[in-house]
Amino acid sequence: MRTEAEAAGSQLEPGDFVQLPVPIIQQLYHWDCGLACSRMVLRYLGQLDDGEFESALQELRLTRSIWTIDLAYLMRHFGVRHRFCTQTLGVDKGYKNQSFYRKHFDTEETRVNQLFAEAKACKVLVEKCTVSVQDIQAHLAQGHVAIVLVNSGVLHCDLCSSPVKYCCFAPRGHRCFCRTPDYQGHFIVLRGYNRATGCIFYNNPAYADRMCSTSVSNFEEARTSYGTDEDILFVYLDS
């Protein structure tokens, strides 16, 4: 028996329906959603070795505070072709008083700005630019994937029967009681779309057993929320 999405996809033209076989890997802690997304991408590319991955984390000093630029350096470490698009080349000082950033802002500002400053010399491709949904769909249509920073308080999955029980703001096994309207940064992996139904498919590392889907409008609201800098890390299959 076909799913509703499969039935709709069979009636579309090539490129109107994309659903890439990106494996789902759940995050282990409250802070490592970006690393879980990186594991998904590397496994999709056939380049994930757990030992090498752990060594890379040590070498790059990736601990409990992970920024999108860190993930770009991680892709470069593995020789993966990438393109990091953002609205801010460095740390936006306006985030200093936001609850999500406040705890680590002072210690992280210098480190993150240095990563941006050294990106070109380290062959990490970073661009200050605006990315449209059409750009994202064109990327996915080629079999490529992307890691996107979103406001998880805004992002809503249409396939999940209930709100996220476990999220990147509580250790695994603990219920998430996040009810704050403030920005809550979270990384997801884009894996496809359906133009007919106007939805985006993605993997949420808060889960270990499902693909998620949301409307293009909800996705756009979540990824352009203040605090995300509209960060998106394009990753290419032909790495």
The CATH number that applies at residue 220 is: 3.90.70.30
Q: What percent of the chain has pLDDT over 90?
A: 69
Could you tell me the CA-to-CA distances from 108 to 63, 94, 155, 192, 235 in Å, in that order? 12, 14, 26, 33, 25
Over residues 83-88, mean pLDDT: 97
Residue 239 pLDDT:
62
Give the pLDDT score at 42.
Answer: 97
Within a domain: 138: yes
Residue 119 near residue 85, CB atoms below 8 Å: no
Mean pLDDT of all residues in 70-93: 93
Is position 46 within any domain?
A: yes
What average pLDDT does this structure show over 209-234? 96
Query: What's the gap between Cα 84 and its chain centre?
Result: 11
What total of structural domains would you count in the chain?
Answer: 1
Nearest of 110, 97, 190, 177 to residue 150 by alpha carbon: 190
Exposed/middle/buried for residue 183 (C-beta within 10 Å: 0-12, 13-18, 19+): buried
Give the angle subtended at the CA of 133 by the CAs of 221 and 98, to the nearest 5°: 30
Q: 72-76 long-range contacts, Cβ below 8 Å, gap at least 24?
A: 72/119, 72/124, 72/125, 72/126, 72/233, 73/115, 73/119, 73/122, 73/124, 74/35, 74/38, 75/38, 75/41, 75/233, 75/235, 76/122, 76/123, 76/124
Report which of 236, 188, 148, 222 is spatially closest to residue 36, judged by C-alpha positions: 188
Please check whether residue 104 lies inside any domain of the structure: no
Within-domain flag for 32? yes
Cα distance between residue 75 and residue 93, in whole Å: 26
| Mean pLDDT on 84-99 | 78
Cα first-last separation, the chain: 36
Examine residue 148 and state whether it is found in any structural domain, yes or no.
yes
Domain range enclosing 43:
17-89+116-235
Look at residue 7 and tell me if it is in a domain.
no
Asked if the structure places residue 1 within a domain, the reply is: no
Cα(67)–Cα(85) distance, rounded to whole angstroms?
13
SS3 25: coil
Q: Mean pLDDT, the chain, as a whole number? A: 85
48 within some domain: yes
Tens digit of each residue's pLDDT (9 = 90 or more) over 165-199? 444 444 444 444 444 557 889 999 999 999 999 99
- pLDDT value at position 183? 83
Q: pLDDT above 70 covers what percent of the chain? A: 79
- Structure tokens given for 79: 């020789």
Three-state SS at 189: strand
* The most confident of 53-62, 103-112, 152-161, 174-183, by mean pLDDT: 53-62
